[in-house]
Every structure is written in structure tokens, then in C-alpha cells.
Amino acid sequence: MATERVLSTQSTSTDEPQNWALRPTRLSEYIGQAELLERLRIAIEAAKRRKEPLEHLLLHGPPGLGKTTLAHVLAQEMGTKVVLTSGPALARGTDLVASLTRLQTGDILFIDEVHRLPIAVEEFIYPAMEDFRIDVTLDGGLSARTVQVRCKPFTLVGATTRAGLLSAPLRSRFGIVHHLKYYSHDELLAILRRSAAMLEVPIPDPAALSTIAARSRGTPRIANRLLRRVRDYTTVRADGRLTAAVVDAALKLEGVDPLGLDDLDRGYLRCLGTTYNGGPVGLEALAATMNEDPGTLEDVVEPYVLQIGFLARTRRGRALTRAACEHLGLACTPQAEGLFDEPTV
Ligand SMILES: Nc1ncnc2c1ncn2[C@@H]1O[C@H](COP(=O)(O)OP(=O)(O)O)[C@@H](O)[C@H]1O
Ligand SMILES: [Mg+2]
């Protein structure tokens, strides 16, 4: 995509420097994900008592829900540091060696997009996770020899948006596996309140933050980004007074509707609703009509429209639900209605 979507769950170029300041640094500041936090509190306490590193942890779930943040928080709680890398960055086993040998006892190695770890590297990682050693083959051909490199006991924190793509042997080596859920309205509100205080945004109207939370698609990264956009708008157009009406105007300008849908989402739903009469239609056909990449639609648009019950994924393809037709003001087709009871794929 040429333009950066304000609703993108991916971190955009303007996000990172700003987000650092807003990132929770302790577990007590980390909002939501109650079950996960409870599991981690127990794991941290147990590891500390035994003077061992934390168990290897696999976090999976949609982007922007706080996986990277959590890796930093865990290091902070354990009094250790975190080394960041990602699946695609580790092309060869030796790349992994470089990361591993930088680790001190108890440090956290965070591997983002762990499902994109090349198979060759995955094999190096097994002995590293289990016995804290890596077998490296030096030179090729006749003079090849294997050296064993030891590393300090560490904790691997893997993050992935696609847990299904992870190999079974890798998955089974994580002691704790947890799926991060979308945040509730109240949790997003709490995050926004905290961020607003940190950004020193005065909020006279409590409904203002609620309006932002409702459009954040259950995602803290989006909530914080919308807050920053709204703050800019408020400064320039509304004398710094942040009210629900100002939020409405600011987000309308960004093309974000009351449900948190933007032009791309609406374009997708409209295409399905008009060109394909509500479906069912295959993703490929839909993508071709919209001149979009099917993968983009699947990763960027569909998770949220599925979650709010606007889309049904059936064996025969994608179909609009009645709620979507009503939201878009389209005549709903009986065809789509009949598909609701079909198993989704
Ligand atoms: N539980 C949370 N409490 C408060 N803020 C959060 C929380 N989770 C995420 N955030 C905010 O959302 C942003 C995106 O989180 P991040 O950890 O980068 O997501 P991920 O790695 O899952 O894509 C962070 O910069 C942080 O400010
Ligand atoms: Mg991340």
C-alpha cells in the first residue's frame, strides 16, 4: 500500500519514537490480558525463587496488542536485558550465534515473527533452547568441523501473528504458550487515559476518550495513534479542547467511521456487497476486483470485519452479514443470510 493507514495494526514510521514513551515498563502498568499476566506473575516468582531464567515463552496474536512491549516488561521484572531480533533477520545459524553470545544469564532473546525463522536456523535453536549450546559447522567440504558454542541460560520470547505456521517441534519447546486477545472497550479506555496523561492532553469531556476507544479495533497501537492524531487536530483546530465532537471531526478527516472502519475496509465490504451481491465469493476474485493483494486483505482487513461480525468465511467463499449490509446501507441478499449457519473455514 502506498499510503500509511491510520488504522494499520502494523507499526508505521511515525509510531516508534512516540510509542517508546507510551510503552508500559512494568507488569503493573500493563493493562488487560489478565490471564496472561497471572500466568506470568507466577512464572516470574517461581523463576526468581529458583534463581533460574524464565521459561521460554511464545506469544501469538494480531499485531499491535503488546507482544514486543511484554518482552521488555519481562526483562524489567526479571532485572535482565532484552536482545531483539526477528525471524527474517536470522538468515543463517551464525546470525543466531551472534545474538546468543551477547546474552547474559537470564536475559531475554526476543524473536519477532518467529514463524519466519528459516528451517536451517530452527535446527540451531533447539539445542540452544534445551541445553544452551549451539553446534556450528565451520568451513565446508572435507575440512568441515563442528564446534560447540555454549551460551548462558536465557529465555526465548517468540512472537508471531501466525501461530499455525510454526513447526510443531519449535512450538513444543516453549514452556508457556499464550494467545493475546483483542482489548475490551474499558481496557482501551484505561490505556488511552494513561497515554493522555503522559502526553499531557487535557480531557474535559470523558466521552472523548470513549469515542477514540470505540474506533481502535481492540488494538492499543491504533488507540495510541488515533489519540496522537486527535491531539494534533485539537491543538490546531480546537484551541486544545478535546471533546467528543472534536474527536468525531478529527477522525472523520482521517476517514475513520464510528465502528473504526476506514476506506479500505469499506471498499472491501462494498465490493463484496455490490459487485458480488453479498457473496459468497473467493478471496482471489475479490482481491482482483479491488486491485489489492489477497494477502493484504486477509491480514489487514478481514480479521477486524470478521471480529465485529460483518463477514462470514464459508466453504464457498466470503459473504457479507446482515449487520454489514445495514452499516453500509446496502440491500442485503438472501444468499448471504443462508450462509450464516454454514461452518466457517
Ligand atoms: N497492555 C498494554 N497496556 C498499555 N499499552 C499497551 C499495551 N499493549 C500495547 N500497548 C501499546 O501499544 C503499542 C504497540 O504494542 P507492541 O508491543 O509494539 O505490539 P506488538 O509487538 O504485539 O505488535 C505499544 O507501543 C504500547 O504503547
Ligand atoms: Mg511487535
Closest residue CA from atom 24 of ligand 1: 23
The pLDDT tens digits of the residues spanning 241-259 come to 889 999 999 999 999 999 9
pLDDT band at 98 (very low <50, low <70, confident <90, very high): confident
| Domain membership flag for residue 24 | no
Tell me the best of 15, 20, 38, 69 to mutate to test the pocket of ligand 1, counting ligand atoms within 8 Å of each CB and taking the most: 69
Amino acid at 16: E
How many structural domains is the chain composed of? 3
Residue 247 belongs to some domain of the structure:
yes
- Cβ 189 vs Cβ 209: under 8 Å: yes
- Domain co-membership, 174 together with 249: no
* pLDDT for 2 beyond 50: no
**Proportion of the chain above pLDDT 70, given as a percent:** 92
Q: Which domain holds residue 192?
A: 185-254
Specify whether 52 is located in the same domain as 126.
yes
Is the per-residue pLDDT at 320 higher than 90?
yes
Total-model pTM: 0.88
- How far does the centroid of ligand 1 lie from the alpha carbon of residue 125, in Å? 27
Asked if 311 contacts 319 with a C-beta cutoff of 8 angstroms, the reply is yes
Q: Find the 286 Cα to ligand 1 centroid distance in Å.
A: 32
> Do residue 211 and residue 85 come from a single domain?
no
CA distances from 33 to 94, 178, 188, 222, 320 (A): 36, 10, 11, 17, 30
- Work out the mean pLDDT of the chain and round it to a whole number: 90
Q: Which of the following is catalytic: 5, 215, 217, 221?
A: 221
Which pLDDT value is given to residue 166?
92
What's the whole-number mean pLDDT along residues 11-26? 77
**Catalytic member of 5, 15, 107, 112:** 112
Q: ω before 258 within 30° of 0 (cis)?
A: no
Q: Is 68 known to be catalytic?
A: yes
Query: Is it the case that residue 1 has pLDDT exceeding 50?
Result: no
In this structure, are 157 and 243 located in the same domain? no
Task: Quick: pLDDT tens for 161-176.
Answer: 888 889 999 999 999 9
The confidence score (pLDDT) of residue 138 equals 75
> Is residue 12 a part of any domain in this protein?
no
Residue nearest to atom 13 of ligand 1 (CA): 221
Q: Compute the distance between CA of residue 90 and CA of residue 87 in angstroms, rounded to an integer.
A: 6
Segment 35-54 mean pLDDT: 97
Residue 85 resides in a domain: yes
Residues 6+ apart with CB under 8 A from 115: 87, 160, 161, 162, 163, 165, 166
Q: Do 95 and 159 lie in a common domain?
A: yes
